[in-house]
Amino acid sequence: MGFNQLLAVLKARRVLLGGVWAAVVLLALAVSLLLPKQYSAQAEVVVEPRGSDPLSAQHGSGFTTPGFLATQADIIDSERVGARAVTLLGLAGKAPWAEKWQKAAGGQGDAARWIAGRLKKSVKVSPSHESNVLTLTVTSDNPAFAAEYANALARAYLETDLQLKVEPAREYAAWFDEHTKVLRNNLEQAQARLSDFQREHGLVGDEKVDLESARLTELSTQFTAAQAQSSDTSSRQRQGGGMNEIASNPLIQALKVDLARQEAKLNELSGYLGENHPQYQRVQGEVESLRARLRQESGQVAAVVGTNNRINQAREGDLRQRLDSQKQRVLELKQQRDEMLLLQREVDSAQKAYDLVMARLTQTSLESKSRQGNVALLSTAVAPTEASSPKLMLNLGLAIAIGGLLGMAITIVCELLDRRVRAGADLADTLGVAWVVEISAPPAQPATAPGRLSFLRRA
């Protein structure tokens, strides 16, 4: 069917087209006028990401995923939030809702949840795709009730969000409090073991070990010096029984000089005096006396060398014994210090665990007492002055468009069911012959004159 044919059909069946169009428009008008007016009230809340610090009042990064906002929308749309909003408004005690609940549920169950379930279909939560704002829309035939319920839902959502944040913190705080007692007991036991060990061995820190180590170093130095002296005296005694000491002794050297001088004098006197001469005998006596004294002094020096050798060896042995004893003492102290350090590490580990749990206990305790959640009320709902539905002009516009399309569709269907010849092209389509020429009537002719003269030929 061509465009001209369609126009011809619509023109021929204009009554049907106009009737369908008018019926649709009148129906839309009647429905719009007869339906009760609905009013929509909106409240807005701002949702911050989870994990913000309630103590420092620092929020998270401000970035939320669509899934997070959708979760928050589901929370608002839940029975828990709805029942809380119903409780805030006290709807369960008001006559209309109480009667409906008694009639429907027979007084069984929770009235607030039942009412919230009935009102759930009138609530719409719209999360934003580019911000953290959630819009709560409540539709009702009462504009004041729509605003009140929207605000009650917003308050109930704020309370529920705070409870969802505080309740886990309370459970964690209770668990940390119980665990803290165990860790405190472990810390006290570790400190008691360390104190008993220090008291038993007289250890406070590394001071005692350092002091004994210093003593060990000093004894080692003394032992080295005594060992050198003992080795020196032993070597001199083995080499000549102290001849070097005798030779280097000033008194012996002086005696030797005196002896040599007297012997020289005695040799001189022997040349011209006899042995019985008194002067010769006196000098000879002095020589004998010097020789005796020299032997005596040499013997004393040799005895001193031997005595010094024995003293040095005895001192070396004493220092060796004291050094070995001090080494054993230092080893014992180091072992005790290692045991004390092990106990100290146990105390430090218990203290660290206790401090960590105490810090978490303090944090969760403060979080459990928080009065600020992650949601803030951005704007409250006010009673709307204009109805949100039905929208008369919109419905009429849609009815005009839909009515026209529906009228055209019905007209075309009727034409296909009852085919008429309305143009030369219809003859060709109906009879299967070609259309040759069409002669139209002049405009001045009356309506009874022939409309046109067509010449046809069979195809």
Domain boundaries, the chain: 1-35+390-420, 201-368, 424-457
**pLDDT given for residue 434 in this prediction:** 57
Q: What is the pLDDT of residue 297?
A: 67
In this structure, of 110-114, 178-182, 286-290, the range with the lowest mean pLDDT score is: 286-290
List the single range of 51-60, 89-98, 273-282, 436-445 with lowest mean pLDDT.
Answer: 51-60
**Banded pLDDT at 151 (limits 50, 70, 90):** very high
* 454 vs 284: which has the higher pLDDT: 284
The predicted pLDDT at position 452 comes to 45
Q: What is the mean pLDDT of residues 138-149?
A: 88
User: What mean pLDDT is reported for the chain?
Assistant: 76
- Decide if pLDDT at 202 tops 80: no
Proportion of the chain above pLDDT 90, given as a percent: 3
pLDDT for the residue numbered 424: 59
Report the alpha-carbon distance of residue 347 to residue 192 in Å, rounded: 9
Mean pLDDT for the stretch of residues 404-421: 78
**Closest residue by Cα to residue 333 from 209, 164, 197:** 209
Confidence of residue 43 (pLDDT cuts 50, 70, 90): very high
Predicted confidence band at 13 (pLDDT cuts at 50, 70, 90)? confident
Residues 6 or more apart whose CB falls under 8 angstroms from that of 270 comprise 280
14: Cβ–Cβ under 8 A, 6 or more apart, which residues? none
Rounded distance, CA 61 to CA 57, Å? Answer: 13
Distance CA 186, CA 351 (A): 9
Contacts of 450 (CB under 8 A, 6+ apart): 441
Class of domain 201-368: mainly alpha
Q: Return the pLDDT at 48.
A: 82
Least confident of 90-99, 126-135, 276-285: 276-285
Is pLDDT above 50 for 457?
Answer: no
Residues 177-194 as b or e (16 or more Cβ within 10 Å = b): eeebeebeebbeebbeeb
- Segment 303-325 mean pLDDT: 76
Who contacts 18 (Cβ-Cβ below 8 Å, separation ≥6)? Answer: 407
> What contacts 438, CB < 8 A, 6 or more positions away?
424, 452, 453, 454
| pLDDT, tens only, 71-105 | 888 888 888 898 898 888 888 888 788 888 888 77
pTM: 0.52
Q: Average pLDDT for residues 166-179, to the nearest whole number?
A: 82
What pLDDT does 369 receive? 73
Give 335-375 pLDDT, tens digit per residue.
877 888 888 888 899 899 889 888 888 888 777 776 677 88
Q: How far apart are CA 123 and CA 110, in angstroms?
A: 20
Copy the structure tokens of residue 197.
């060990």
pLDDT in tens, 423-437: 656 655 655 555 555
* Cβ neighbours of 76 (radius 10 Å): 24
